[in-house]
Amino acid sequence: MQAKKKKDNRGRVLWTGESQRKSDLIYQYRYTDENHNRRYIYNADLDVLRKMEETIVKKKESGLNLAKPKLTVNELVDSYLATKQGVRYNTKKGYATIRRHIKESGFGDRRINEIKVSDAKFFLTELQANGIGYSTITSIRGVIKPAFQMAFEDDIISRNPFLFGLKGVVNNTTKERKALTIEQQALLLEFFRTDKTYKKYYDDLVVLLGTGLRVSEFCGLTLKDIDLENCSIDVNKQLHRTREGEYYVEKTKTKSGCRVLPITSDVRAALEHLVAKRKKFPAGESIDGFNNFIGIDKNKNPKVALHYENELRWALKKFRKKYLELEEFNVTPHVLRHTFCTNCESSGMDIKSVQYLMGHSDARITADVYSHARFENVVASLNTVSDLIYEKIEAA
C-alpha cells in the first residue's frame, strides 16, 4: 500500500523531513548532521524553509564536517563558499583571493570555537598593517562574517565574533572617486579630437562619456544592438576576457542593467564612425553565440576593458605634459561613467531617470555613490530659490 503524502494547511505536498505544527502552523525540517545528531530548523514561510534546506544539503555535499569539534576557520570558509553555486567568473576569482589571504595570514588555521571578538578585530587590523587594501578587507569580511553566522545558526558556536562594524577598526583608505568638471571634460575631448596620435580613440571617449556605459557593456555591444535611425542602443550583455585569454559573454551586472539607452547626436556620430572604421570580426567566429562586436583590436579580436584602460593611460601621459596644472588628473572608463552620472544629476534630471540610464538596481546607489552635488551647482540653485522668494515679496 502506497504511503499517503503529507500536506500543509494549504494543500501543498511536504517534502521528506518537512512537517507543519498544528499548534502555530510553523514549518519544520528534520535532518541528521555529520555526527549523526538529529537537528531541526523552523520557519513560518515554507519557501524560506526550503532555501534553508538547500543550504544544508549543499554543506553536506561539500564533504566538510561542520559539527566536528576542531573545525578551523579555513574549513568553515570553504564550507560556506561551497554553498555559493552558479557564481560568475570574476566572483570565483574574488573568492580564491579571499581564501588565499585568510590562509596566508595564519588566522585560517585557528579553531572557530576559540575566536573572540578581539581576535576578529585584530585579524582585520593586521591585514591592513600588512598592506591589504580597505576594499579587499571589506570583501574578506563579507565572506568570513556570514560563514561564522552559518556556524552560529547551526549551534556550532555561541556567537558570531564578526558582527561589529568596520568603522573604528580599520581605516577607510579608499580614495574618493571624483567626477570630471565641465572644464576638464572639454579639455579632454579637445585633446583627443586634435591629437595626431590619440585622435583614433576620440569616438570611444565620446561614447563612454556620453552614455555612462560600464566598459564591459560597451565591449559587449554588437551591430545588432545599435539603432542609429532611432538613436538608441540596446544594452543586454557584457564581454570579458579571462587572465588566460578566454573570451566570454555574460548577463549585465543586474537585471536593471538590461536597458535601451537613448543617445545624443554626438554619440550617434561617434558610433557611426566606429562602425564605419571597425575591422571585420572573422567570419564564422562567435563568442557564446555573439559576433560583430563594435570594438575590434588590431588582431581582429573583440576589445575588452583592458584595451580602453590602456588607451586612456597612454593618452593621459601626453595630456598631462600639455596641461602641467593637471598632473594629478586621472581618467579611467569608470571615471567617465561616474562623470556621466554626475552630469545628469547636475542638469536637474530626476533620480529615477538617472538610475535607469545607469542600470542601477537601487536608486540609493545612484544617489550615494555616483552623483555628487558641486558647490557651484548648489550656489546656483540657492540663488534661484532666493530670486523666486524675493520676486513673490516684491509682487505682494
Q: Of 240, 307, 337, 338, which is the active-site residue?
A: 337
Q: Of 111, 278, 334, 372, which is the active-site residue?
A: 334
Strand duo 247-250 + 259-262: pairing: unpaired
Q: Any idea which residue has 557564446 for its cell?
A: 288
Residue 206 and residue 191 in contact, taking contact as beta carbons nearer than 8 Å: no
Which cell numbers in the block locate residue 33?
A: 548532521
The yes-or-no answer on residue 241 being catalytic is: no
Q: Of 59, 241, 338, 360, which is the active-site residue?
A: 360
The yes-or-no answer on residue 253 being catalytic is: yes
The yes-or-no answer on residue 360 being catalytic is: yes
Q: Of 59, 101, 141, 214, which is the active-site residue?
A: 214
The yes-or-no answer on residue 338 being catalytic is: no
Q: Is the dihedral of CA 311, 312, 315, 317 positive or negative?
A: negative
Residue 148 and residue 123 in contact, taking contact as beta carbons nearer than 8 Å: no
Tell me the C-alpha to C-alpha distance, in Å, between residue 154 and each of 59, 62, 124, 147, 242: 11, 16, 25, 11, 37
Q: Of 253, 259, 372, 374, which is the active-site residue?
A: 253
Integer Cα distance of 99 and 79 in angstroms = 12
The yes-or-no answer on residue 307 being catalytic is: no
Task: State the first-to-last Cα distance of the chain, in angstroms, to the nearest integer.
Answer: 91
DSSP 362-383: -HHHIIIII----HHHHHHHHH
Residue 70 and residue 92 in contact, taking contact as beta carbons nearer than 8 Å: no
Closest CA to 279 of 200, 195, 206, 198: 200
The yes-or-no answer on residue 273 being catalytic is: no
Indicate which residues carry an active-site annotation.
214, 253, 334, 337, 360, 370
